[in-house]
Amino acid sequence: MLYQLHEFQRSLLNPLTAWAQATAKTFTNPLSPLSLVPGAPRLAAGYELLYRLGKEYEKPAFDIKSVKSNGRDIPIVEQTVFEKPFCKLVRFKRYADDPDTIKLLKDEPTVLVCAPLSGHHSTLLRDTVRTLLQDHKVYVTDWVDARMVPIEEGDFHLSDYIRYIQEFIRHIGADQLHVVSVCQPTVPVLAAISLMASAGEKTPRTMTMMGGPIDARKSPTAVNSLATNKSFEWFENNVIYTVPANYPGHGRKVYPGFLQHAGFVAMNPDRHLSSHYDYYLNLVEGDADDAESHVRFYDEYNAVLDMAAEYYLDTIREVFQEFRLANGTWEIEGEPVRPQDIKGTALLTIEGELDDISGMGQTAAAHDLCAGIPKTRKQHLIAPKCGHYGIFSGRRWRENIYPELREFIRKHR
């Protein structure tokens, strides 16, 4: 019933948020008499904050129209090149009209960015993609909200995630491909490439793993502690709900995005409270730049998706409770996952010094597991003063981490 209650509450809030937005505009529009009343900026800021707190947040667009590459502004066109029920493979096609630039773009490395399926949309990696596009051809996994997938499409397990990644790698071509996985997908990406190596298939040139729970036993965080302190049955009985009738996925069992969002906020409630209060003050003072920065962040942060129940529960059990990858006991449809069979793929792991989601050492554990990769083809990077999101977004990502990643890819072309 929780999902139905959430939808009922959302329906009740819609008129209130629409009214709050309209009222805020009446106190700021210079043509409105109400904009002249004493305290109008404070009233407008209060109603705007009420609107932001109560509104529904839809999936944002990547909205990458162009990038600066080789000293030129290069137009970008977003294309869906492969579509599965639970994921789309999206390419960001770069265009140029002079032969020299076309040749430069054509010769640059190809990167597959494996986005997390852990509550937020793939657009959370917008800054990652935009930065990579300066020097690479870029594809990204764009996961579909499970509530939008008809139940007739069947279940979606962690093993299906792995098979999706393998299909995408084969579609692009492993020969000259570099795979970058951010957070949650480090585990299934390592499994996918391990299974391909064990089967004698070609594997990507490099794999970069950023802030992921390869071995969640190391430096456990609040996220890890929740998974280990609760039983598998607790998760099964307390966080899994049925999609209501007003969505295409009606009847599907999911872990709702609104629960995941509540968990994100609960990790740092003071920080979010302070951020919203600062937003109110910025509106009152007319500080448009800082207010817009707040809007951009929370438009992304508050937009969440539902995960298929079977996928979520598989991840809880196999990654965070039984540690099957780290223990060497993981099997996918009867095939053992053997990272030690990977030999031709170079490995880069990246961790943030202040990461409160994937603790220090969790991602670096991939080096011991991938014993078949020579040490000369392995590299580990610790980003100083960097939290989880700073690994793949923001100034530290662009100025400190990306140059290292770019050089690693070029070294192993």
Q: Are 313 and 305 in contact (CB under 8 A)?
A: no
**226 in a structural domain:** yes
Rounded Cα distance, 250 and 3, in Å: 11
Instruction: Name, in order, each residue with C-beta under 8 angstroms of 384's C-beta and a sequence gap of 6 or more.
Output: 353
- Cα torsion 208, 212, 215, 220: sign: positive
> What pLDDT score was predicted for residue 382?
97
Same domain, 217 and 359: yes
Same domain, 216 and 265: no
DSSP assignment letter at 370: -
Alpha-carbon distances of 407 from 74, 95, 127, 367, rounded to whole Å: 22, 24, 18, 19
> What pLDDT score was predicted for residue 6?
79
Class of residue 261 by CB neighbours under 10 A (exposed 0-12, middle 13-18, buried 19+)? middle
Q: Are 396 and 381 in contact (CB under 8 A)?
A: no
Q: Is the pLDDT of residue 326 over 80?
A: yes
CATH number of domain containing 216: 3.40.50.1820
> What pLDDT score was predicted for residue 54?
87
> What pLDDT score was predicted for residue 108?
94
> pLDDT (tens digit, 9 = 90+) per residue, 208-260?
999 999 999 999 988 888 889 999 999 999 999 999 998 999 999 999 998 88
Same domain, 114 and 135: yes
**169 in a structural domain:** yes
User: Structural domain of residue 209, as residue ranges?
Assistant: 67-234+306-411
Q: Is the pLDDT of residue 86 over 90?
A: yes
Domain finish residue from 268, 301, 334: 301
**250 in a structural domain:** no
Q: Is the pLDDT of residue 1 over 80?
A: no
Rounded Cα distance, 188 and 181, in Å: 9
Position with higher pLDDT, 377 vs 268: 377
Beta strand 72-84 with 110-114 is unpaired
Lowest mean pLDDT among 54-58, 128-132, 361-365, 397-401: 54-58
Rounded Cα distance, 204 and 194, in Å: 11
Q: Are 39 and 279 in contact (CB under 8 A)?
A: no
Same domain, 31 and 73: no
Which residue, 294, 221, 302, is CA-closest to 260?
A: 302
Mean pLDDT for the chain?
93
Same domain, 296 and 344: no
Q: Is the pLDDT of residue 171 over 80?
A: yes
Lowest mean pLDDT among 131-140, 163-172, 227-236, 403-412: 227-236
Same domain, 138 and 39: no
> What pLDDT score was predicted for residue 207?
98
Same domain, 97 and 219: yes
DSSP assignment letter at 363: T
**241 in a structural domain:** no
Question: What percentage of the chain has pLDDT greater than the value 90?
Answer: 73
Rounded Cα distance, 395 and 323, in Å: 33
> What pLDDT score was predicted for residue 33?
87
What six digits make up the tokens of 366? Answer: 């991939």
**246 in a structural domain:** no
What six digits make up the tokens of 305? Answer: 């998706």
> pLDDT (tens digit, 9 = 90+) per residue, 21-63?
899 999 888 888 888 888 889 999 999 999 998 888 889 999 9
**248 in a structural domain:** no
Domain finish residue from 301, 316, 331: 301
> What pLDDT score was predicted for residue 409?
98
> What pLDDT score was predicted for residue 14?
86
| pLDDT, average across residues 97-106 | 85
Rounded Cα distance, 336 and 195, in Å: 8
Same domain, 265 and 404: no
**375 in a structural domain:** yes
Same domain, 108 and 187: yes
Same domain, 21 and 82: no
> What pLDDT score was predicted for residue 87?
98
What six digits make up the tokens of 29? Answer: 């529009």
Same domain, 124 and 190: yes
What six digits make up the tokens of 343? Answer: 């030999």
Indicate the number of domains in the chain. Answer: 2
What DSSP string describes 125-161? Answer: GHHHHHHHTTTSEEEEEEEPPGGGS-GGG----HHHH
Q: Is the pLDDT of residue 11 over 90?
A: no
Burial 184-213 (b: 16+ CB within 10 A, else e): bbbbbbbbbbbbbbbeeeebbbbbbbbbbb
Domain finish residue from 275, 301, 327: 301
Q: Is the pLDDT of residue 262 over 90?
A: no
**85 in a structural domain:** yes
Same domain, 223 and 330: yes
Rounded Cα distance, 133 and 66, in Å: 9
Q: Is the pLDDT of residue 146 over 80?
A: yes
Query: Residue 379: how many CA atoms within 13 Å on its side-chain side?
Result: 19
